[in-house]
Amino acid sequence: VSGIKKPFTEVIKANIGDAHAMGQRPITFLRQVVALCTYPNLLDSPSFPEDAKKRARRILQGCGGNSLGAYSASQGINCIREDVASYIERRDGGVPADPDNIYLTTGASDGIATILKILVSGGGKSRTGVMIPIPQYPLYSAAISELGAIQVNYYLDEENCWSLDVNELRRSLNEAKAYCHPKVLCIINPGNPTGQVQNRKCIEDVIHFAWEEKLFLLADEVYQDNVYSEGCQFHSFKKILYEMGPEYYNNVELASFHSTSKGYMGECGYRGGYMEVINLHPEMKGQLVKLLSVRICSPVSGQAAMDIVVNPPIPGEESYSQFIKEKESVLNNLAKKAKLTEDMFNKVPGVHCNPLQGAMYAFPRIFIPAKAIEEAKAHKMAPDMLYCMKLLEETGICVVPGSGFGQREGSYHFRMTILPPIEKLKILLEKMKDFHIKFLEKYA
């Protein structure tokens, strides 16, 4: 706009997990089914595979008037909630899932904000405390502040690959009890922005802690398909909860979230998602349904997209081989880029990057010289904001300062997605390296 010449030719938006915007192609099968649902005349077209048609017919049968244009029930289309429940049972090795506990939401964000809304109550010293990891995904801090609840921070351990230590949970909870009533514990696994993947032991500890302290668990598991590191595996909180036995699974209240936006499909624009809520008090459930019904229903085309995420082609079906090829291509690429990013950052002096075990972000720690910190202070700016602004101005690369996610006092980070195509990512990482070295020199 200003006409001032910049030392770069394009802005690279590595600030937001928006896969398609960075060139990732949609999964063909998912789009075929949604197109068939959108324009059912295509059900007669020989150019669409039978397995896609079968799913489209089933979804349409679940829609009022067989149309994506009808409202669904507030909780979501029945047959899609059934498919979600079957998916969860398969994923969790047979642990039962009840469609009645499934709610289709407008992306995961909507589910998280809605659950928080029914859990938050009270004022003064009995104000509801909501425990969140630091660093966190800013949806949490925004929702907590909007609801007038109290944000209770627990810190992830950067020295140990951003792992969650239950002693830190306990410290955080005990301190919070002095000024609020902590009721909710939020977990992001795989982590955003930190990319750690929690192991079974960690999840068991967290569940035991929630049981002991009667905390409502929110498990944000939208990156459940995005696990890359050797030896890492996604375990759902629901599964581990069941494996811990009836004392736990009959008592611990748990809401877990998934979405069409991440994983290998990256369908952010459809705003599809679901949550599974177990052990919710019937009175709270009534409140939840009432709250959902004010917005009538989540977008039905997003519900359809969610259905394909949980009900993809299976071996023997016509579209299976293409589907698997596309899915694995996306995930293998992300795994390569995760490793590449970690390795490249760790070669830069003054940068430390934990392994990107999962999700789709790097959150490296950066050393910022004292002189740069002074300059930032003079501009009333967080030092990592200054760093990111300079990076943008000099290279066209857009990343988000760590201060937007929270970090330990005196440490500085930024979040960058690994979504650009690999050749572009390499160039981008080279540019960031050069920038960082010059930055260190300039403010030495």
- What residues line the site for a second copy (CB under 8 A)? 16, 18-24, 26, 31-32, 34-35, 38-39, 42, 45, 47, 63-65, 67-72, 106-107, 109-110, 113, 139, 142-143, 146, 265-271, 294-302
Residues 26/265, Cβ–Cβ less than 8 Å: yes
Q: How far apart are CB 26 and a second copy at their closest, in Å?
A: 5
Are residues 237 and 256 in contact, defined by beta-carbon separation less than 8 angstroms?
yes
Q: Measured from the CB atom, is 224 or 261 closer to a second copy? A: 261
User: Are 323 and 27 contacting, i.e. CB atoms less than 8 angstroms apart?
Assistant: yes
Q: Residue 202 or 359: which CB sits closer to a second copy?
A: 359
- For a second copy, give the closer residue by CB, 23 or 94: 23
CB nearer a second copy, residue 270 or residue 363: 270
- Quick count: other Cβ atoms within 10 Å of Cβ 352? 15
Query: Nearest-5° angle of CA 174, CA 176, CA 178?
Result: 85
Please say which residue, 66 or 279, places its beta carbon nearer to a second copy: 66
Task: Please report how close the Cβ of residue 390 comes to a second copy at its closest, in angstroms.
Answer: 24
Q: 374's torsion region: left (phi>0), alpha (psi -120 to 50) or beta?
A: alpha
Alpha carbon distance 126, 273 (integer Å): 32
Q: What would the two tokens of residue 367 be?
A: 């050393």
Query: The tokens 């502040």 sit on which residue?
Result: 145
Query: Minimum distance from CB of 13 to a second copy (Å)?
Result: 8
Judge whether 101 and 278 are in contact, CB under 8 Å.
yes
- Smaller CB separation from a second copy, 182 or 420: 420
- Cβ 347 to a second copy shortest distance, Å: 30
Cβ proximity to a second copy, 56 vs 344, nearer residue? 56
Q: How far apart are CA 432 and CA 363, in angstroms?
A: 14
Evaluate whether 190 touches 357 at the Cβ level (below 8 Å): yes
Give the shortest CB-397-to-a second copy separation in angstroms. 17
Q: How far is the CB of 301 from a second copy (least distance, A)?
A: 5
**What's the closest the beta carbon of residue 122 comes to a second copy, in angstroms?**
14
Q: How many of the other CB atoms lie within 10 Å of CB of 33?
A: 29
